[in-house]
A = this chain, B = another copy of it.
Amino acid sequence: MPTAHKGSPAEVAALDAYIKLMRASETVTARAHGIIGDLTLTQFGVLEALYHRGPLCAGAIAEKILKSAGNLTLVLSNLERDGLVVRQRDCQDARRVIISLSPAGRDKIAALFPKVAAAITAEFGPLSPAEQAMLGELCKKLGRGRTPSSTAARE
């Protein structure tokens, strides 16, 4: 017989909600992933950021897609190799690298984004507009009022 952890009711409820939250986000993401074909999710994220914001320096992209700087260097290299983005040193500040979509990259994301948006919308179809808004509100409340130390300290 496995040694089950005995949690308080509050813990059981929170862990249950957490598991459902994770499963839902993974399910929706997996469905979107099926649409984008040869691109990876991160590559799609980069193209999407450039598509909706215009040329950005590498750091700005990393911040937008919540990935580390080191990671982004590799992803950009792969995208550049595939001819989807262009790297260009900033004349004003030679440390910066400006990333912009190539024509091929623009075509690709312009064709892909509506499909992904439609797929995600379909995925949220089981929820009414009010339920979607409610879900968004509840998610927004998560992680609030919590300093990094306050959770790590106890025990």
Report A's interface with B, CB cutoff 8 A.
Answer: 1-5, 7-8, 10-11, 13-18, 20-29, 31, 34-35, 51-54, 66, 110, 113-115, 117-127, 129, 131-136, 138-146, 148, 150-152, 154-155
Interface of A is mostly: helix
**Smallest Cβ-Cβ distance to A149: which chain B residue:** B34
Contact of A117 among B15, B27, B122, B134 (CB under 8 A): B15
Task: Report copies per complex.
Answer: 2
* A113-B5, A129-B13 known; A122-B135 Cβ under 8 A: no
Report the bound CA distance from A152 to B34 in whole Å: 7
A-B contact pairs, 13 of them (CB 8 A): A2-B54, A5-B51, A11-B120, A17-B139, A18-B120, A18-B123, A20-B139, A115-B155, A122-B150, A122-B151, A123-B142, A123-B143, A134-B138
